Amino acid sequence: MTRKQRRGVLISTCLVVLGLAVGLVLYAMRDSIVFFYSPSDIAEMQLAPTQRIRLGGLVETGSVERATGTTIRFVITDGGKTLPVTFTGVLPDLFREGQGVIAEGTVQADGVFHADNVLAKHDENYMPPEVAAKLKTKGMWRGDSEAGGASPQATN
């Protein structure tokens, strides 16, 4: 094998691997990205029941009720619109009424959000930043500087 051929093998291998990687990334970008919306955003758009989204806002005070078994219902609000949510499972430690929360799941045909994952960070002052940004635009922001408070991962 000449020097030129060796270089050819090297370069074509690199191109194949890079091409594969770019293809995979583009494919994954299309299918596995989850968008973040507030209840007001969802009211303005038509979402297919199959599209996974993240829903953020405050847990409306007095809205949490435990249905049969481990299913929990609550309402997420951003000051403007509200959206009822059902979730089956164990809620995170810092899930509280009046606190910021992010739920991941799909909007069903009956207008109820089925969450399969609920996130609340481990700090009572913590507000998910997406929620804080949405609340600011809705004028519900109470303006404490601790919004970006320490999440447990911040120690890395």
Partner 1 sequence: MIAEVGHYALILALGVAIVQTVLPLIGTRLRDPQLTAVAVPAAQAEFILIGFAFLALMTAYVTSDFSVANVWQNSHSAKPMLYKISGVWGNHEGSMLLWVLILALFGAAVSTFGKNLPRQLQANVLAVQGSIAVAFLLFIIITSNPFMRIDPAPFDGEGLNPVLQDPALAFHPPFLYVGYVGFSMAFSFAVAALIDGRIDAAWARWVRPWTLAAWMCLTLGIAMGSWWAYYELGWGGFWFWDPVENASFMPWLAGTALLHSALVMEKRDALKVWTILLAIITFSLSLMGTFLVRSGVLTSVHAFAVDPERGVFILAIMGVFIGGALVLFAWRAPLLTQGGLFAPISREGSLVLNNLLLTVACAAVLVGTLYPLALEALTGDKISVGAPFFNLTFVPLIVPLLIAMPFGPLLAWKRGDLLAAAQRLTAAAVVSLAVIIVVLALHQNGPWLAPLGIGIGVWLIVGAVTEIAYRVKMFDASGEEVWRRLRNLPRAAYGGALAHAGVGVMVIGLVATSAWREERIVALAPGGSVDIAGYQLTFKGVVPRIGPNYRERVGTFVISRGGSQFTVLHPSKREFTVERSTTTESGIHNGWRGDLYVVLGDQLKDGAFSVRVYFNPLVRLIWIGALIMFFGGAVSLSDRRLRVGAPKRARTKAAMATGGK
The binding site for partner 1 (CB under 8 A) comprises: 1, 3, 6, 9-10, 13-14, 17-18, 20-21, 24-25, 27-29, 31-36, 54, 66, 69-70, 88-91, 93-94, 122-124, 128-130, 132-133, 145, 147-148, 150-156
CB of 67 to partner 1, least distance (A): 10
Pick from 105, 109, 100: which is nearest to 86 by CA? 105
Pick from 121, 126, 120: which is nearest to 148 by CA? 126
CB of 58 to partner 1, least distance (A): 17
CB of 121 to partner 1, least distance (A): 9
Query: CA 44, 33, 87, 127 torsion: positive or negative?
Result: negative
Question: Which residue reads 């089956």 in tokens?
Answer: 88
**Residues sharing a CB contact under 8 Å with residue 8, sequence separation 6 or more, in sequence order:** none
CB of 127 to partner 1, least distance (A): 10
**β-bridge mates for residue 80, sequence order:** none
Of the pair 13, 61, the CB lying nearest partner 1 is at: 13
